[in-house]
Structure 1
Amino acid sequence: MFGCRSLLKQTRKRKRRKPDKFNSKRRKQNPQLTEEQQDFATEDGFSLKGSSPTQNYGVQPLGNLYFSSSPHNSRNTGLGNIQTLTDELVLDILGFLGGTHLGILSTVSKSFYVFCNHEPLWRNLVLENCNDGFLFNGSWKSTFVAAYNPAFDDSKTGSLGFKVKDFYSDYLFQSWLCANLEMKHEWLERDNIIRRKGISVDEFVSDFETPNKPVLLEGCLDNWPAMKIWNRDYLVKVCDDALFSVGPVQMKLKDFFAYADQAQEERPLYLFDPKFANKVPKLGQDYEVPVYFNEDLFSVLGNERPDYRWIIIGPAGSGSSFHIDPNSTSAWNAVVKGSKKWVLFPPDVIPPGVYPSLDGAEVACPVSITEWFMNFYESTKTWKKKPIECVCKAGEVIFVPNGWWHLVINLEDSFAITQNFVSRRNLLNVLDFLKKPNACTLVSGTRDRVNLHDKFKKAIEASFPGIIDELAKKAEKRKAELEKPSFWDSVKDSNSGGFKFSF
Structure 2
Amino acid sequence: MELNLEQIPREQTLSEKEFIQKYFKPQKPVVIERFVEDWPAYTKWNLDYIKEVAGEKIVPLYDDRPVKHDEGFNEPHATMKMRDYIDLLKSEPTKYRIFLWNLLKEVPQLQYDFSFPKFGLRLMKGLPMMFFGGSNSHTFMHYDIDLANIFHFHFEGKKKCILFPQSETKFLYKIPHSLITREDIDFANPDLEKWPALEFAKGFTTHLEHGNVLYIPEGYWHHMKYITPGFSMSLRAIARKPRNFGKAVYNILFMRHFDNAMRKIKGQEWIDWKNEKAVTRTHSLLYGK
TM over 0.5: yes
Between the aligned partners of 1:419 and 1:231, the Cα distance in structure 2 is 18
Counterpart of 1:259? 88
Indicate conservation of the 8 Å contact 2:172/2:197, yes or no: no
TM norm structure 1 = 0.43
RMSD: 3.2
Identity %: 20
In structure 2, give the amino acid aligned to 1:316: S
Counterpart of 2:169? 350
TM norm structure 2 = 0.71
Indicate conservation of the 8 Å contact 1:329/1:422, yes or no: yes
Q: Which runs of 5+ in 1 are unaligned?
A: 1-185, 444-503
The alignment status of 1:327 with 2:156, answered yes or no, reads no
Question: How far is 1:417 from its partner?
Answer: 0.8
Which has more helix, going by share of residues?
A: 1
Question: How far is 1:254 from its partner?
Answer: 1.3
1:283-298 → structure 2 map (5 Å cutoff): 283-292=110-119, 295-296=122-123
Counterpart of 1:439? 253
Indicate conservation of the 8 Å contact 1:422/1:430, yes or no: no
Q: Deviations over 1:403-435 (max 9, x none)?
A: 211111111111211122126xx1634542244
Cα distance, 1:351–1:271 mapped onto 2, change above 3 Å: farther
In structure 2, give the amino acid aligned to 1:440: F
Question: How far is 1:364 from its partner?
Answer: 4.3
Counterpart of 1:390? 206
Counterpart of 1:366? 183
Between the aligned partners of 2:155 and 2:90, the Cα distance in structure 1 is 19
Between the aligned partners of 2:120 and 2:144, the Cα distance in structure 1 is 16
Between the aligned partners of 1:321 and 1:251, the Cα distance in structure 2 is 22
Question: How far is 1:233 from its partner?
Answer: 2.6
The alignment status of 1:207 with 2:34, answered yes or no, reads no
Between the aligned partners of 1:380 and 1:255, the Cα distance in structure 2 is 41
In structure 1, give the amino acid aligned to 2:79: Q
Counterpart of 2:46? 231
Question: How far is 1:199 from its partner?
Answer: 2.6
Query: Relative contact order (alpha carbons < 8 A, sep ≥ 6): 1 or 2 greater?
Result: 2
1:145-294 → structure 2 map (5 Å cutoff): 192-247=7-62, 248=76, 249-261=78-90, 263-264=92-93, 268-292=95-119
Between the aligned partners of 1:281 and 1:437, the Cα distance in structure 2 is 30
Question: How far is 1:309 from its partner?
Answer: 2.4
Question: How far is 1:379 from its partner?
Answer: 6.8
Question: How far is 1:322 from its partner?
Answer: 0.8
Cα distance, 1:244–1:273 mapped onto 2, change above 3 Å: farther
Question: How far is 1:218 from its partner?
Answer: 2.0
Indicate conservation of the 8 Å contact 1:191/1:391, yes or no: no
In structure 2, give the amino acid aligned to 1:197: Q
Indicate conservation of the 8 Å contact 1:353/1:376, yes or no: no
Between the aligned partners of 1:235 and 1:437, the Cα distance in structure 2 is 33
Between the aligned partners of 1:405 and 1:413, the Cα distance in structure 2 is 22
Cα distance, 1:356–1:396 mapped onto 2, change above 3 Å: same
Cα distance, 1:411–1:260 mapped onto 2, change above 3 Å: same
Question: How far is 1:250 from its partner?
Answer: 3.2
Between the aligned partners of 2:192 and 2:85, the Cα distance in structure 1 is 31
Say which one has the larger Rg: 1
1:47-126 → structure 2 map (5 Å cutoff): none
In structure 2, give the amino acid aligned to 1:277: L
Question: How far is 1:313 from its partner?
Answer: 1.6
Which has more strand, going by share of residues?
A: 2
Question: How far is 1:438 from its partner?
Answer: 7.9
Counterpart of 2:67? none
Counterpart of 2:130? 311
Cα distance, 1:380–1:227 mapped onto 2, change above 3 Å: farther
